[in-house]
Structure 1
């Protein structure tokens, strides 16, 4: 398998984050037009915005948590020439978990499901860290 293909799920994760920024701009514009925003508080206070905006905004924050570790792991594994089928499958599974997490978070926001999906992504990253440790130990 081509090692550089490991950047395809990375590109999709980046696209997901950029899509959320676009969705946030659209949601904020709509909320403002509908008069759902406390104009006096909007510059500094999240509570000035309706829940529909807050869900997207909070999910954007999540895109700078686990995904940052994902980016680092992929770059390190790629630079070590340690990308294999396991890494590819794990990378795609992680990104799919992030898409599902985003869908739940910005939709129903059902916390028990959102937590399980978040934890799945975390366990995938733990597996990649374990693989990286194995590669570092065994050379």
Structure 2
């Protein structure tokens, strides 16, 4: 199995999360415009009364998809380029993706910090484990 085959499914699953989140933003904004008779200018300049929580949560979640996950994408790009074919890294990548999906769903659906924060932190620990595993493979 080549390195790209080992890691690309996880990357595609995380990319899918970004697109699903973007679609949720679009749907929530359209629903907000229709239900609340909000002016389109609100979404052009973000002025006026605040948007509903669902709009705010989905928008913030999409921003979250380009914070720590950037380290995931960088790691996978390096692993494919070198190439590194490590089953541990591939398994941790699936764990990371599952935790990112769980974080996004909990953030958008009910947003309780006592649920969302441990998921977020565990995901970061998994990502750190991936980087340590990559370092061990490459540097030894």
Query: TM-score, structure 1 length as denominator?
Result: 0.90
Q: Which residue of 1 aligns with 2:138?
A: 136
Q: Which residue of 2 aligns with 1:19?
A: 20
Which of 68, 81, 84 is the matching residue for 2:70? 68
* 5+ long unaligned stretches in structure 2: none
CA contact (8 A) 1:36 1:49 kept: no
Over the aligned positions, Cα root-mean-square deviation in angstroms equals 1.8
Give the aligned length: 138
* 5+ long unaligned stretches in structure 1: none
CA distance in 1, matches of 2:111, 2:39: 23
Q: How does 1:37-116 map to 2 (within 5 A)?
A: 37=38, 41-45=42-46, 48-116=50-118
CA distance in 1, matches of 2:88, 2:8: 14
Q: Secondary structure at the match of 2:45?
A: coil
Query: TM-score, structure 2 length as denominator?
Result: 0.89
